[in-house]
Amino acid sequence: MCVILRCPETVRPKSEVLYACHEANPHGAGVAWWESGRVRWQKNLSTSELIALLKKLEGEVVIHFRWASVGGVDARLCHPFPITPKASVSLSGMAESVLFHNGTWSGYVDALMRLEQHRKEPLPTSPMSDTRAAALVVHTTGPDALHKLPGRWVWMNAKETQLYGAWEDWRGMQVSNTHFVPRLRAAQARRHHAKASDHLPLSQSCLFAC
């Protein structure tokens, strides 16, 4: 299903939230932020790597946890993708704008075939996913094309971030879905139970056994 967290400058998700997002979407995390008048990204991060990076970042950030629905489990297909003529699959870099997606776009193959007729250079080859294909389309047509595509999208350039599709406000962030929340609550319940067990008095039989 994937999940995207758009985090304003003053809000960062707690570690437990990030671990819950990863548990629900375990195929690689990515993040983008503003730097030196452009957008910088890193992807295929572990949760611990993401937590360490977020502590260093200022300003708005966008975080994505991938569920590999199109293209299979491949580090290069983690989000975001730069909106460039080739929509590079590099695991880090800088670009004028990048694209994130939560959802599935089944019509991307047909769209790529039509797009190839309008390009002066051949389309990039595998690995390909619906989100990488959308980045190629947006590079040619502009971000308004995202209004016509299914799912929830983030178009982020060096000055602004635009959201497409239905989003939810959650803990000061905008999130593409809250399917990770049951996992967060389950983890919190386990911790609460563990703490409660630590404070239970030992029975007399247990004391002798110990």
Instruction: Encode pLDDT of 37-85 as tens digits.
Output: 999 999 999 999 999 999 999 999 999 999 999 999 999 999 999 999 9
pTM score above 0.85: yes
The tens digit of pLDDT for each residue in 77-131 reads: 999 999 999 999 999 999 999 999 999 999 999 999 999 998 888 999 899 999 9
**Which CATH number is correct for 3-209, 3.60.20.10, 3.50.50.60, 3.40.50.11540, 3.30.300.20?**
3.60.20.10
pLDDT for 97 equals 98
Q: Is 60 helix (H, G, I), strand (E, B) or coil?
A: coil
The domains of the chain are located at 3-209
Confidence class for position 188, pLDDT limits 50, 70, 90: very high
Query: What ranges make up the beta strands (E) of 55-143?
Result: 61-65, 81-82, 92-95, 97-102
Q: Which residues make Cβ contacts (< 8 Å) with residue 105, sequence separation at least 6?
A: 70, 130, 131, 133, 134, 149, 150, 151
Tokens of 50: 């993401």
Closest among 149, 152, 165, 164 to 106, alpha carbons compared: 149
Alpha-carbon distances, residue 190 vs 29, 83, 187 (angstroms): 25, 42, 5
Tens-digit pLDDT profile for residues 122-165: 999 899 999 999 999 999 999 999 999 999 999 999 999 999 99
**3-state SS, residue 90:** coil
